[in-house]
Amino acid sequence: MKSKKPSQVRVAVALFYIALALALAGPFIDTDLGMRPPGVVIVGCVVAALFTVFLIEFISIGRNWARITYLVLTILSLPVPFLYLKQNISTSYVGVASVVIQLVAHGVGLYLLFTSGKSWFSPSRR
């Protein structure tokens, strides 16, 4: 018997989708792509978005490996937004706000998944 998904997991999944939407809007917010051709940016965004949606959906159905993978990838990617913030704090207020919101969304979502929502990922639930 499947149990009802906890509200903490629903909120975390919604926060992850908000962060994903902001990340996908990033290239349009900060139009300085550097030396990268637009096609490379688009392909990179699509691949990253598909993988992220894959993980979020498996988190939503209660797969513990997806929750842990999301945590590890979030931790490994932390230097990137902080470097962006350091370089753009005084030039791109919208971009900086977007990155800060993404960081908060990831932090709160992961906190919910690993504290009050952790029962959703126990093997005995299935």
Report which of 98, 86, 101 is spatially closest to residue 27, judged by C-alpha positions: 98
- Identify the pLDDT of residue 63: 93
- Identify the pLDDT of residue 110: 96
Report which of 10, 125, 101 is spatially closest to residue 56, judged by C-alpha positions: 10
The residue with greater pLDDT, 36 or 7, is 7
Report which of 50, 29, 31 is spatially closest to residue 98, judged by C-alpha positions: 29
What's the one-letter identity of residue 29? I
Under 8 Å CB-to-CB from 102, ≥6 apart: which residues?
Answer: 19, 22, 23, 81
Q: How far is CA 88 from the centre of its chain?
A: 21
The residue with greater pLDDT, 83 or 125, is 83
Report which of 116, 89, 113 is spatially closest to residue 30, judged by C-alpha positions: 89
* Model confidence pLDDT, tens digit, residues 78-121: 998 888 888 877 777 888 888 899 999 999 999 999 998 888 88
* Model confidence pLDDT, tens digit, residues 31-86: 665 666 777 878 888 999 999 999 999 999 999 999 999 999 999 999 988 888 88
